[in-house]
Structure 1
Amino acid sequence: MKAAEAWNGSLGRHWAAHADRYDAMLAPFDAALFDAAAIGVLDRVLDIGCGTGGTSRAAARLAARGRVTGVDVSEPLVARARALSAHLRDGAVTFEVGDAQAHPFEPGGFDVAISRGGVMFFADPVAAFTHIGEALRRGGRLAFVCPRPAPPGGGEREALTRLASLVGGDHAVDTSVAAAMASLSDPERTGVVLEAAGFEGVSVRPVSAATRWGADAADAADFFLSRKQGPPVTDGIRAAAADVFRPYETPEGVLLEAGTWVVTARRPY
């Protein structure tokens, strides 16, 4: 199954329905993303793979006299983003359904492009980043966060492997998305892709943070298993999932360490 189909199907609907939980899980990486993006008060911001609009709304607070355009291939996510952003000033944030690889952006219409985990799903990464670069003004900035592989032998990696085994082979959607998620996991390849797309000054640095999966092990298990397709979840599977999460319980909730790359680049002047 293609990633676009997944994001317009059950996966996209799940993210839309649990926007607060997903934003809370990914929020620890926001500071690194926005530090890298250096959004100014007048900036015109493009948010690629904006999801339910959390990063778009955060960008709008920084670009208080500018504007933000969020683009996502998922209709359920864009609909949720619009609903969650209805309270903002007119024109502060707009959302469009589309594939950033080919969406009809205004040439040179943006000062900065950002993405929190939304740039790994392109069918042709070089073509996609070339198109995004053309949407930036000369000297415009690109900043995004993408997954970094967990180190071999790490407890979190083992935990996620065990959790995946519990949902079995009925998770073709997650399998296709997981493969796409890793498309920029090699920083050398990322640099090659961006330079081939016409960017310069490429920088890739690692950032790690604790991601919150739930209030406690049972809550985290319920959230994880709510994505499962196919036969109903048995009590045994639910208990096994809670057992996987239990070692990661803290007073702040169930926290699993995760790593990302923070990537920055610039369109030449």
Structure 2
Amino acid sequence: MSDQQGTQTPPSSEPAAGEHATGAAELFDYDAELRLYNERFRAAARVGSHDRVLDIGCGTGQTTREAARAAVAGSALGVDVSAPMLERARQLSDEQALPNVSYQLADAQVHPFPLTHFDLCISRFGTMFFADPVAAFTNIGRALRPAARLVLLVWQDRDRNEWASAIRQSLTAATAAPIPPAPGRDAFSLADPGSTEDILTAAGFTDVTFTDVHEPVYYGPDTVTAFDNVLRLLKFQDLLADLDAATAEQARTRLRATLAAHDTGNGVYFDSRAWIITAHRH
């Protein structure tokens, strides 16, 4: 990590998802993890005051609420497949008295959105897991008016994301062989600009552009907190699931050491890279 990354101020985001006491207490706090990315993403989204915004994979709704605040004469709809996250999103929206925001429990690949209704579709790391990406973006496109904008934030390749490679290596005790992105089923499935542009073009989008974003991701103010946070992520829990007790404890010890090595004194950060993708509905 660079010195610049090591001096970042720890996030002061909306209340952590983990604070929710009605069934969502174990939710990972993606808003804190992605704070620096979110600032770049919000600027790229350029939500207009009259926009009707569709937010795909909204999680606990930070990006949806920010869109709603900008669209003072418009609206924002957040869509996700996680009921606990949407429960938290609704609670926060009620607390913040946002009348123009709503949420829908739905799979964006097949949900019957109102046709040609939205002016802007945004997604912060919420579009990489579609079973059929072309079908999903085609369905989303039907919900957008002609010339509406699409603004996505997606991860670049795994080997450009230290949070994925270093943590995975610590839990598996060996340098993992490169894992090619699996379209529709992988956090890195939209990492390749060529194939992703092909997907969006096939789904009816034009003017596809990619902007490189290089920011650290945050896992907590100290090593102990970061350890608990990382193990809330199912993809890392799964790496421990099939290990015997002794081997699993060795993996946890290596994980603690990896996190300690990334403790800057101002928080535990890992290097990462993403794309901001923009396009227009044909």
| TM > 0.5 | yes
Equivalences for 1:1-269 in 2 at 5 Å? 16-17=24-25, 21-89=29-97, 91-151=99-159, 158-165=165-172, 179-227=185-233, 228=237, 230=241, 236-268=250-282
What is the CA-CA distance between 1:18 and the residue it aligns to?
5.0
Identify which range, 16-25 or 92-101, moves more after superposition: 16-25
Q: Secondary structure at the match of 1:17?
A: coil
Equivalent residues of 1:114, 1:142 under 8 A apart: yes
Structure 2: how far apart are the matches of 1:34 and 1:147? 16
3-state SS of 2:32 partner? helix
Give the distance between the partners of 2:50 and 2:156, measured in 1 at CA: 32
TM-score (norm 1): 0.82
C-alpha distance in 2, partners of 1:109/1:241? 46
**Quick one: which amino acid aligns to residue 37 of structure 1?**
A
Q: Which whole-Å CA distance do the structure 2 matches of 1:260 and 1:75 have between them? A: 27
| Superposition deviation, residue 114 in structure 1 | 0.2
Q: Deviations over 1:65-108 (max 9, x none)?
A: 21100011122221221122112446411000111111111111
- Given that 2:80 and 2:107 are in contact with CA atoms closer than 8 Å, whether structure 1 keeps it comes out as yes
| TM-score of the superposed pair, with normalisation by structure 2 | 0.78
Distance 1:259 1:57 in 2: 25
Choose 44-53 or 21-30, whichever is displaced more: 21-30
Kindly provide the CA deviation profile for residues 216-243 of structure 1, in whole angstroms up to 9, marking residues without a partner as x. Answer: 2222112223453658797654432210
Q: 1:24 to 1:199 in 2, by over 3 A?
A: same
The answer as to whether partners of 2:58 and 2:79 remain within 8 angstroms in 1 is yes
- The 8 Å contact of residues 43 and 110 in structure 1, kept in 2 or not, is answered as yes
Paired residue type of 1:252: N
RMSD of aligned residue pairs (Cα, Å): 2.7
Give the % identical residues: 39
95-104 vs 224-233, which moves further = 224-233
C-alpha contact 1:222 1:238 (8 A) present in aligned 2: no
Which has the higher mean CA deviation after the structures are superposed, 156-165 or 206-215? 156-165
Gaps of 5+ in 2: 1-22, 174-181
Query: Structure 1: where are the runs of 5+ without partners?
Result: 1-14, 167-175
Q: Give 1:198 deviation, angstroms.
A: 0.7
Separation in 2, partners of 1:141, 1:49: 17
